[in-house]
Structure 1
């Protein structure tokens, strides 16, 4: 067996062991719950832009982008723009790799790859910071509700012609909103790619932990995912990712299109 294949087998065995360790998985969700009160997810950045995310999920996203090699990444929810920058930076590395493989000079302005972010309220200082970032040449933004018919139509129009598409949903976390996003954007995901639904962990946390928010246990991204997947087989939860990460805000939310 060649070293690369041997190492993949080693990692698979690790993941299988983690999946079977129910005690460790419980400890992981307990740890995550305790960090929420410290607003842990606000502590991190990517290329100098705040990214309100857990590092384990940041690693998973870059792994998926490098693996899938998408031409377009669609993201709902922008905030400070850190997630857009993360996606764009991996796309830029894919462009660089393609240029090296082709034996040509890289011209960033000629990239066919894009990140498209949608948010109901793109604050002026965040938009200015994203526009001024070195990764800005790969990023487009649309302001408006991600489930508004005109916004969905615009996204679909912009997605036309892209061969490989990945979707990340991280905006309003209510059941109805996420379900509407899934129905609008999951059909754009290319076969073998992913629709990642963040904050499904809300269903696994104590009720009332977000008293100022409209979502809670029974009304959140995980309940939306369950309804979306019911009776269909074109998407499947990638349980290996959750087992590998242990700590994730998206348990059951990494959806791979068959």
Structure 2
């Protein structure tokens, strides 16, 4: 056994232990709730743009992007654009890796890999900042409801010709909206890639935890995922990812399309 094989074997044993470690899981859940109450998730930037994600989930996305090596990432929900910039920078690293492996010169201004962001309201100051960002050449945006037929058609047309597609759903977090996004965009995910549904953790919070929002226990991304998965055996939940993270906004939300 090589040192790396031994390292990975030890990791798998650790993750398996986490899956039955109720006290550790409870502590992680308590910290998630306490940090949400304190708006911890709003504390971070990626390459100068606010990104409303936990650092753990940013690392998880890095792992998935490296594993899948997508040429298109579709994201619903833009806000300040930090997540788009994160995805674009990860795609830039893939381009650099490909160039090194091929022994070619990388032109950072030219890349087929793209991130497509969708939001019902792309505010002018956010659009201007995203379009002025060094990663802008890798980013495209569509304004409109992610479940509006004309927007879905536009996104599907954009996705034509891409070989590996990864999808992230992080806009309106009500059951019906997320269910509509899953129906619209999960079919674009290529075998072996992922549809990541954010904010499934809402189902695990106390009722009315988000008193000023329309989503709640029983009406959130996790309930949508459960309903949608019942009719889509081509997808499965990557339970290992949430075992690694413990603190994540996407429990049961890392959906892998079977190869």
TM-score where L is the length of structure 2: 0.98
Q: Deviations over 1:173-199 (max 9, x none)?
A: 000000000000000000000000000
How far apart, CA to CA, are the structure 2 residues paired with 1:37 and 1:204? 14
Aligned to 1:126: 126
Aligned to 2:174: 174
How far apart, CA to CA, are the structure 2 residues paired with 1:6 and 1:80? 42
Aligned to 1:80: 80
Structure 1, 220-229 or 17-26: larger mean CA deviation: 17-26
How far apart, CA to CA, are the structure 1 residues paired with 2:239 and 2:70? 21
Number of aligned residue pairs: give it.
258
Once the two structures are superposed, the pairs formed by residues 24-103 of structure 1 within 5 Å of their partners are 24-103=24-103
Q: Deviations over 1:33-80 (max 9, x none)?
A: 011121110001111110001111111011100111000000000000
Once the two structures are superposed, the pairs formed by residues 1-258 of structure 1 within 5 Å of their partners are 1-258=1-258
How far apart, CA to CA, are the structure 2 residues paired with 1:215 and 1:22? 27
How far apart, CA to CA, are the structure 1 residues paired with 2:232 and 2:151? 26
After TM superposition, the runs of 4+ consecutive aligned structure 1 residues lying more than 6 A away are none
Question: Shift of the alpha carbon at 1:3?
Answer: 2.3
How far apart, CA to CA, are the structure 2 residues paired with 1:220 and 1:37? 18
Structure 2 residue runs without a partner (length 5+): none
Structure 1, 99-108 or 73-82: larger mean CA deviation: 99-108
Q: Report SS of the residue matched to 2:109.
A: helix
How far apart, CA to CA, are the structure 2 residues paired with 1:4 and 1:48? 35
